Structure 1
Amino acid sequence: MKLAAFLLPLLALAGCASNRSAGTDAAFASGPIDPARMSIVTRTLASDEFEGRGPGTDGEAKTIAYLSEQFRQLGLEPAGDDGSYAQRVPLVRTRLKPGGAVSIAKGNARIPLAVPGDIYLSTVRETDAARIAGAPIVFVGYGVSAPERQWDDFKGVDLAGKVALFLVNDPDFEAAPGDPVAGRFGGKAMTYYGRWSYKFEEAARRGAIAALVVHETEGAGYGWSTVEAPGGENYNIMLSPGAQQPVLLQGWLQRPAAEDLFRRAGLDFETVKREARTAAFRPIDLGARLDARFDVEARRVESHNVLARISGSKRPQETIWFAGHWDAYGIGAPDAQGRTVRPGALDDALGIAGVLELARAFKAGPPPERTLVFAAWTAEERGLLGAEHYAAHPTFPFETTVANLTLDTLQPNGPARDVVLIGAGQSDLETRLAAAARLQGRTLTPDARPERGLFYRADHFAFAKRGVPVLLIMALGGGVDLVEGGREAGDRWVSEFTAHCYHQSCDAWSPDWDLRGAAQDVALFYTLGRDLAFSRAWPEWKQGSEFAPLRAKSAAARR
């Protein structure tokens, strides 16, 4: 690693970012958060030298060393293992080797499926082979088991050794006004039941050997290029002895392939989808069997979260978290320009740059009364694994964790008149965020595409599942109202980025970025975090949030 990249001083950045990023227009001021510093940190992490920051790779080693050194230079205390900034995260890294085959048998016909054209598969099992021979395919609708919503798609069906085929998203995602299911699962806003991770886990709990989700871009929130971006590679946390094993193969089936499968079973796909939006739906054995044959390259790798802190002067046991994820998608197949590194500049090197700026700003101020923790998680792109590992092995109690504030995929298009709120209606942190936005002359706008379930797709979710109030700032929630171009320009950027650069090689740093808006977003967390750091306030979940009962169980610890 080049010494210049490793020891890049954060205090000499103003001349290295674009002139617009370093703009000083008072109308767009971001307080102590400097867009020029954010730009250069992002440029460093997204450079080819860091090889796309894949967990367990040489790129990870460079990333962990770089981030640890930045926290050390800022004067933060280590909060990782053995007096270091790094927390070990044991993972299993798998890859389906080329040359495998998958097909569906229906009657006397055998239908080969192109990989990844028709079907995308991976495994998170620690195995050297994935072999499925004649496993019956059972359509389970949306695959939801939700007693609290009086909904059960499974109806006691035996899935042992079978392939569970799911629809994407929730039962009411496509419900028409007046349908009995409308609103039962949040309407257009995705619930956790709509996430692919829930569906794969539910299939495993019920003994399925494989799980497939029918891909539809609207319901998934991203196109097929995002699905196939990992190239057959996957990760999982090392499972303890006796833990529930995941399905052997998991993945996605293109809608045309699913339509063909239903047609061969004498069924119309759209008609069955409508039936699946009723509580009376029952699983359907499609009379087809799946065969798959893949060799698997599996190895154990030690990845790392990076954790640093500023200890509280009065109540050090009470913590406020600022976090992002350091990982991206590493090195993949060459794109049209021959680029193989997928640098993850916006997703989420820029978020990590924001975390470092928050650490610098807080360290430069008066000592906080509560402890501030700064986290850079690993393996977010592989299922929020780094944050989930921390949550399973916490070093600070969740009962006295005040809040988790997460930055993921900020926008590079200059100042905005608003900030998009992901997961509206969850906690009273939203009221605090609105107050901070008003100080900047901005407003809060609810996520324009809640069906994409972004609230469940970032690392803060591991904290929410433990009852901790959380906030996520993510530009992909919808087009922000940009000062230059308005919401139309914001929507256009989200659409183009999601369609072409999300998890791809073109998510790269650019000298043409204007990071004043991103810096303002980071400054919102500075204002909100500063207020919490010098108070006795405990943010709460709103009535009706699925996380409120979890928090209530530990209320005595916060008195």
Structure 2
Amino acid sequence: MSMRLTAALLLALAAPAAAQTGTAPAPTISADNLTETVRTLASDQFQGRAPGTIGEERTVGYLIGRLQALGLEPGGVDGGWTQPVPLLHTALASATRLQFARGNNVQPLVQGTDIYVSTLQPVDIATVAAAPLVFVGYGVSAPERGWDDFKGLDLKGKVAVFLINDPDFSAAAGEPVAGKFGGKTMTYYGRWTYKFEEASRRGAIAALIVHDTDGVGYGWNVVKSGGGENYGLVVPAEKRTSLQLQGWIAHDVADKLFADAKLDLNQLRIAARRADFRPVPMSGVTLDAAIPVRQEVVQSQNVLAKIPGAKRPDEVVMYGAHWDAYGEGKPDAQGRIYRAGANDDALGVAGLFEIARAFKAAPAPDRSLVFAFWTAEERGLLGSEAYAQNPIYPPEKTVANLGLDILQTAGKAKDVILVGKGQGSLEDDLARVAATQGRSVSVESLPERGLFYRADHFSMAKRGVPVLLMMGIAGASDLVVGGKAAGQKWVDDYTGNCYHQACDAWDESWNLDGAAQDIELFRMIGDELARSTKWPAWKDGSEFKAIRDTSAAARK
């Protein structure tokens, strides 16, 4: 991507001023600096920061200018500031054919009403020719938990039909499965992304998940809002998904579909909660589809910067935030056309700048610090996944990944929200360091929504890197002014009105003193790690512990 921004513009965009130098104590995180960064990145000049647009070009130029002004070194590919991330963008047109069939009984399907599908195939037409449907329960293959829903089933050429969430999500007390998958706390096996990945690993031609609002955490209106679009990483042909189509079946349509196949979906939900569950062929029901596809390759970039370690530069403490938002959309009630993500995640980007400023004002760390600004988080964590697939800094020597993604803007809090309780030792560090701020830890309020698996740190967790996420919408903060009730009101107002909407804009009513607290907390945790020989670990029971254990020798 060319960088057509002039040097003068880059310097103008680089405010606040360059970093302090020397060996003075780390400066306090500045709410004013956070404000200026967010107001800039959320302005119309950056056009909503969508990957592959002029908004990206301006954003990348701005990030690099700021990092240079702060005195950081390039941390990207070949000594540069960036890492290329080619993205496949697909959009389905009106279907030529989209239906379920059982013998002569044909059920036409309306995209967005009865079913919602998309594709990650770079093809002109996504085609499924009378492929048989097989119900695979929750579709979980977890040998470490003694669970296998597939029982050797060959899915090649078939359509896998899944339930959302984990096998124990709806389990009653006393059922053998109760607690095996975290109860109401979602594991990765409950995520729709895992189910599509598992279907592809087994060669399915399509994968459909029965929509359930409680299980997924949002209504059908959110599912269908995708408009038939999808984004994925550009990969060689041999690594492409086997799925021609992937998506969801509306709850009522699924009930009828199973009934037409002489199956009782409610009874199958119960059966799928047993370890002896076996896949159920859906009695001659097939999916038939032919849908034109518009496709393009979007060239995007991660931005990476570093502060080299003075003693062990090959050991890396990584901070991350995503620079992208949703770009241009339909005007809202105020006529705003850009979904600019002021909080999600311009505020996280601003936090990384402040942490970098603080480190540059202090003595050099023993370990290297890397600041990663990810692209395409809103398209499925794609920038961080591209990095994790082709890491610049080896995961086995990456000490931790500390992610900022949405911070509360309602003032100081008496607590900090923990996302992903029970995963790793970093949560113990969070509690200990928060106590030095006079704060306690509160656990996320809706762990069944799986927020731990829905931010960029997860791409690193899948490679075994210990992670910690700061996400303000994970629970109601106990605000100094107004307590939990005020914290819940902030969460409800933001998620109900502004999340992924044009409303997520800079607002004069914001109070960033609480965000500054959270950013300082992460700075202190990272500072401890960067000036020690400590290696955080996954806790027993975490699905990521075994991955990290395989590389233990590299850290001795």
Whether TM-score is above 0.5 comes out as yes
Q: Which amino acid aligns with 2:479?
A: L
1:173 to partner: Cα distance? 0.7
Partner of 1:266: 262
Q: Hey, what does 1:72 align to over in structure 2?
A: 68
For 2:64, the aligned partner's letter is: S
Distance 1:396 1:446 in 2: 31
1:134-166 CA-to-partner distances (Å, cap 9, x unmatched) read 222222111111122221212233322222111
Work out the CA distance in 2 between the residues paired with 1:100 and 1:360.
56
SS at match of 2:299: strand
Farther-moved stretch of structure 1 (426-435 vs 318-327): 426-435
More moved, 170-179 vs 323-332: 323-332
More moved, 228-237 vs 458-467: 228-237
Quote the offset at 1:241 in angstroms.
4.5
CA distance in 2, matches of 1:549, 1:384: 23
Q: Which amino acid aligns with 1:425?
A: G
Q: Name the counterpart of 1:148.
A: 144
Cα separation, 2, equivalents of 1:241 and 1:290: 24
Q: Which segment drifts farther, 389-398 or 500-509?
A: 500-509
2:534 is aligned with 1:537: yes
Question: Pick from 331, 338, 341: which aligns with 1:341?
Answer: 338
Normalised by the length of structure 2, the TM-score is: 0.92
Q: Secondary structure at the match of 2:238?
A: coil
Shift of 1:264: 2.5
Are 2:401 and 1:396 equivalent residues in the alignment? Answer: no
Determine whether 1:240 maps to 2:236: yes
Q: Return closer, same or farther for 1:257/1:335 CA change in 2, 3 Å cut-off.
A: farther
Give 1:471 deviation, angstroms.
Answer: 0.6
Give the secondary-structure state (helix, strand or coil) at the position aligned to 2:197: helix
Superposition deviation, residue 189 in structure 1: 1.1
- Give the direction of change, closer, same or farther, for the CA distance of 1:439–1:313 in structure 2 (3 Å limit): same
Q: What residue in structure 2 maps to residue 180 of structure 1? A: 176
Check if 1:157 corresponds to 2:156. Answer: no
Local SS of the residue matching 1:371: strand
- Paired residue for 1:509, among 494, 501, 506? 506
1:118 aligns with 2:123: no
Paired amino acid for 2:528: D
Take 2:445 and 2:545, find their aligned partners in 1: how far apart are those partners?
Answer: 24
My pick for the range that moved more, 152-161 or 101-110, is 101-110
Contact map agreement 1:42 1:353 (CA 8 A) in 2:
yes
CA RMSD of superposed structures (Å): 2.3
Q: Which runs of 5+ in 2 are unaligned?
A: 19-25
Which whole-Å CA distance do the structure 1 matches of 2:273 and 2:374 have between them? Answer: 37
Q: Secondary structure at the match of 1:293?
A: strand
Change (3 A) 1:173 1:495: farther
Pick one of 30, 35, 57 that aligns with 1:34: 30
Q: Does 1:10 align with 2:6?
A: no
Q: In structure 1, what is the equivalent of residue 42 of structure 2?
A: 46
List 4+ stretches of structure 1 deviating above 4 A: 1-6, 98-101, 333-339
* Partners of 2:154 and 2:334 in 1: CA distance: 49
For residues 512 and 5 of structure 1, what CA distance do their matches in structure 2 show? 29
- Structure-1 separation of matches of 2:528 and 2:28: 15
> Once the two structures are aligned, what percentage of the paired residues are identical?
56
Superposition deviation, residue 401 in structure 1: 1.4
Match of 1:18 in 2: none
Work out whether 1:497 is the aligned partner of 2:502: no
Q: 1:112 to 1:45 in 2, by over 3 A?
A: farther
Change over 3 Å in CA distance of 1:349–1:163 after alignment to 2 = same
- AA in 1 matched with 2:214: E
Separation in 1, partners of 2:331, 2:126 = 27
Contact 2:17 2:69 in 1 (8 A): no
The answer to whether structure 1 residue 552 and structure 2 residue 549 are counterparts is yes
1:317/1:371 contact within 8 Å kept: yes
Question: What whole-Å deviation, never above 9, does each CA across 1:73-107 have from its counterpart, x for those lacking one?
Answer: 11110111233211111221212235665322244
**In structure 1, what is the Cα distance between the partners aligned to 2:424 and 2:548?**
11
2:369 alignment counterpart: 372
Partner of 1:16: none
Q: Deviations over 1:216-254 (max 9, x none)?
A: 222112333433343222221121352253411111222
Structure 1 contact 42–345 (Cα < 8 Å) conserved: yes
Other structure's SS at 1:53 match: coil
Residue number in structure 1 paired with 2:470: 473
Equivalent position of 1:414 in the other structure:
411
Change (3 A) 1:116 1:432: same
Evaluate the alpha carbon distance shift between residue 540 and residue 157 of structure 1 in structure 2; reply closer, same or farther with a 3 A threshold: closer
Indicate whether 1:308 and 2:305 are aligned: yes
CA contact (8 A) 2:13 2:65 kept: no
Question: What CA deviation, in whole Å up to 9, does each residue of 1:472-516 have, x standing for no partner?
Answer: 111222222122332233234334433443323322222211111
> Residue 19 of structure 1 aligns with which residue?
none
8 Å CA contact 1:222–1:498 kept in 2: the answer is no
The code of the aligned residue for 2:75 comes to A
Query: 1:355 maps to what in 2?
Result: 352
Please point out which of 192, 205, 229 is paired with 1:196. Answer: 192
Instruction: Give the TM-score, by structure 1 length.
Output: 0.91
Partner AA of 1:363 in structure 2: K
Distance in 2 (alpha carbons) for counterparts of 1:506 and 1:174: 35
SS of equivalent residue, structure 1 residue 10: coil
Shift of 1:60: 1.4
Shift of 1:65: 1.1
The number of equivalent residue pairs is 543
The question of 1:527 aligning with 2:524 is answered: yes
1:94 aligns with 2:99: no
CA distance, structure 2, for counterparts of residue 123 and residue 442 of structure 1? 46
CA distances 1:405-425 after superposition (whole Å, capped 9, x unpaired): 011111112111111111112
In structure 2, relative to structure 1, the CA distance for the partners of 1:492 and 1:70 (3 Å cut) is same
Residue type matched to 1:364 in 2?
A
Give the stretch that moved more between structures: 264-273 or 190-199: 264-273
Deviation at 1:61, TM superposition (A): 1.3
With 323-332 and 111-120 compared, the bigger mean Cα shift is at 111-120
1:485 and 2:482 aligned: yes
Paired with 1:370 and 1:501, the residues of 2 have a C-alpha distance of: 38
TM-fit CA distance, 1:171 = 0.5
Task: Indicate how the Cα distance of structure 1 residues 453 and 349 shifts in structure 2: closer, same or farther if over 3 A, else same.
Answer: same
Conserved? CA contact 2:27–2:358, under 8 Å: no
Cα drift, residue 12 of structure 1: 6.8
Match of 2:21 in 1: none
Please give the secondary structure, in 1, of the residue aligned with 2:441: strand
Q: Which amino acid aligns with 1:11?
A: P
1:445 to 439, 442, 448: 442
| Aligned pair partner of 1:257 in 243, 253, 258 | 253
